[in-house]
Structure 1
Amino acid sequence: MSQRSELREGRKRRLIRRRALAAAGAALALTGAVVTTNVMASPAGTSASWPKPNGPDRPVTKTIEVSGTRDGEMQRFYGSGDLGDGGQDENQAPLFKLKDGAVLKNVILGAPAADGVLCEGSCTLQNVWWEDVGEDAASFKGTSSSATYKVVGGGAKKAADKVFQFNGAGMLTVSGFQVADFGKLVRSCGNCKTQHKRTIIVHDVDATAPGKALVGINANYGDTAALRGIRVHGDSGKKIKPCVRFTGNNTGDEPVETGGGPDGTYCRYAASDIRYQ
């Protein structure tokens, strides 16, 4: 490689590092969580965006319960035995169950991933990667209106339906995240037996088609979704809907879609907050 080419490559690498640090800083300011340097700046779905696992893969035959902080050190965990059918059936057990206030970080979930991660209360998922989403990547089920769930960095691929299922109460923040080949990035439960008002913030996210929607909320329960700094890749037809409103219920019936797009009340964003690249 010539000296001139080396200089160009060096400038390119420095630019990528600066963008990564800027994204991490934005996520830190928004969520107050610790952000690792493993948060990538490249668009979701590109081979350079996804980390390689460290050490041998870890089969999980029984749900791992987490209190406090668990650092997976970038090992890959996957379902085995009863957690290994790889299906989309409801009511599967998760690979990880987080107690109120727990932190799960630096983890790769391989296939099969069962029902991913379950948060029983407030939780932080930091630099967690789903290579092939099972039933859901993560479900949030805290019952307190003051519960806070934070997804900082990481990414998810191959979600036939939902990536994040928001069943509980409180606020969910997703920042510095990458998603590719998905149904919905975040869905407020449309037909849970117990319903809540839910607040959703999606910030600094790369979404790569195909996908259906970034957020689905229940307007009749007062849900809100704020979107900003969203980059959509490979969707020139703008088929991925940023925010969809539903009329939810607690009877188990299929919720009714009532509209979408920014309205200043429930779906809170401007056209400039969504960039199609």
Structure 2
Amino acid sequence: MKLTTYVIIPLLPALSSAAVIRRQFGDGPQGGADSTQGDLAARPPPRFPFPIARFPVPSETVVLNETIYIQPGQVFDGHMKRYEFQEGSCNEQAEGTDADAVFNLLPGATIRNVVIGKHQAEGIHGLGDAWVENVWWEDVCEDALTSKGLNTQLRVIGGGARNATDKIFQDNSLGGKFSISGFYADSFGTFYQSCGNCLNQAKRNVTIQNVIAINGTRMGIINPNYSDEYRIKDSQVADVDRYVDKEIGNNVQTVPYTVGTGPDEKYALYNLTRDHITEFEGEVLNQYIPENPYEWLGEYWTEEADSTVRR
């Protein structure tokens, strides 16, 4: 049975009470934290709560004629506006190019407080290390966020995506890492996928932490023959068939084949009990509440689709 209802109480109650951001992102031992993401502590704390189990309603739409490139070191703050191409089209069978993406992130870029509109062929392409903060995809076509480049590290904090018939996060990078924290996913095929037939292949790494995911087929697809590592922890999941599928990837662009599913001791490094993966029952657990939230944040969430907040 699909989960469709939530208990209704206000989204942003007393923002004066702060929570601790758990800055743990993969690449450690099974059940461990990541020692390679030390730069997280140097960034200012987020000014938005996460995860939020409902979508914002933008009051303004920005219609684009061409892709926006966010330059190295630039912080692009959309203030919760919707961004989309006027002639948006969706072909789930076609792999989009950088020119099809609404945003391209150059190395060192940050995109923040943005809504990607419906019917966009591609959402965001990360062309190098980048931050994606409080970004929402209203209706995913091929992919919401695609990682490209050499050793690219993408850090996703907050935000959400829905109606991703194919997948939400696609890792096409050569030896990259994905860190996804505080995200909300509703209705999807695959939450995260390590490319199974890219021309250039290498080990990839993903850590999924403190997310809410409902109505999906699987949380991940990885390639153990390239030594991929997959972790999920401190998350709430409901009506998702499988946590991870393991495939034999290739670099000749043929369809990979599945060799297994579920946790193991080497590639799918998670345990439902130890890593606190629980059933989502309408109550948001472990929500981060900022000490200094954006003053305008509450204007973009309507009351009729509220979620609960555990205090």
Global fold match (TM > 0.5): yes
Pairwise CA distance, 1:91: 2.3
**Counterpart Cα distance in 2 of 1:35 and 1:95:** 26
**Counterpart Cα distance in 1 of 2:122 and 2:95:** 8
The correspondence of residues 81-160 of structure 1 with structure 2, limited to 5 A, is 81=87, 84-88=88-92, 89-92=94-97, 93-144=100-151, 147-160=152-165
Instruction: Note if 1:254 corresponds to 2:248.
Output: no
Assess if the C-alpha contact under 8 Å between 1:213 and 1:241 holds in 2.
yes
**Counterpart Cα distance in 1 of 2:137 and 2:16:** 23
Pairwise CA distance, 1:25: 1.4
Instruction: Note if 1:182 corresponds to 2:178.
Output: no
**Counterpart Cα distance in 1 of 2:272 and 2:133:** 29
**Helix, strand or coil for the counterpart of 2:210?**
strand
Of residues 79, 102, 106 in structure 2, which corresponds to 1:73? 79
Q: How many residues align?
A: 248
The correspondence of residues 1-277 of structure 1 with structure 2, limited to 5 A, is 13-14=13-14, 21-22=18-19, 25-26=21-22, 28=23, 30=25, 32=40, 34-42=44-52, 44=53, 49-54=54-59, 56-67=60-71, 68-81=74-87, 84-88=88-92, 89-92=94-97, 93-144=100-151, 147-168=152-173, 169-209=175-215, 211-233=216-238, 235=239, 239-272=240-273, 273=275, 274-277=277-280
Partner of 1:5: none
Gaps of 5+ in 1: 1-8
Assess if the C-alpha contact under 8 Å between 2:141 and 2:166 holds in 1.
no
Q: Provide TM-score, normalisation by structure 2.
A: 0.74
Greater helix content: 1
Greater strand content: 1
**Counterpart Cα distance in 1 of 2:45 and 2:268:** 27
AA of the residue aligned to 1:115:
E
Gaps of 5+ in 2: 1-8, 26-36, 281-311
Could you say what the CA RMSD is over the residues aligned between the two structures, in angstroms?
2.1
Query: Compared with structure 1, are the counterparts of its residues 143 and 242 closer, same or farther at alpha carbon in structure 2 (3 Å cutoff)?
Result: same
What is the percentage of aligned positions where both structures have the same residue? Answer: 33
**Counterpart Cα distance in 2 of 1:216 and 1:100:** 25
**Helix, strand or coil for the counterpart of 1:59?**
strand
Query: Compared with structure 1, are the counterparts of its residues 207 and 17 closer, same or farther at alpha carbon in structure 2 (3 Å cutoff)?
Result: farther
Higher relative contact order (CA 8 A, sep 6+): 2
AA of the residue aligned to 1:74:
M
Assess if the C-alpha contact under 8 Å between 2:51 and 2:210 holds in 1.
no
**Counterpart Cα distance in 1 of 2:44 and 2:249:** 34
**Helix, strand or coil for the counterpart of 1:111?**
coil
Assess if the C-alpha contact under 8 Å between 1:35 and 1:153 holds in 2.
no
Summarize deviations over 1:114-161 as a string: whole Å, max 9, x none.
2100011111101100010121001000213xx321011100000010
AA of the residue aligned to 1:174:
I
Query: Compared with structure 1, are the counterparts of its residues 207 and 66 closer, same or farther at alpha carbon in structure 2 (3 Å cutoff)?
Result: same
Pairwise CA distance, 1:29: 5.6
Assess if the C-alpha contact under 8 Å between 2:176 and 2:203 holds in 1.
yes
Assess if the C-alpha contact under 8 Å between 2:197 and 2:251 holds in 1.
yes
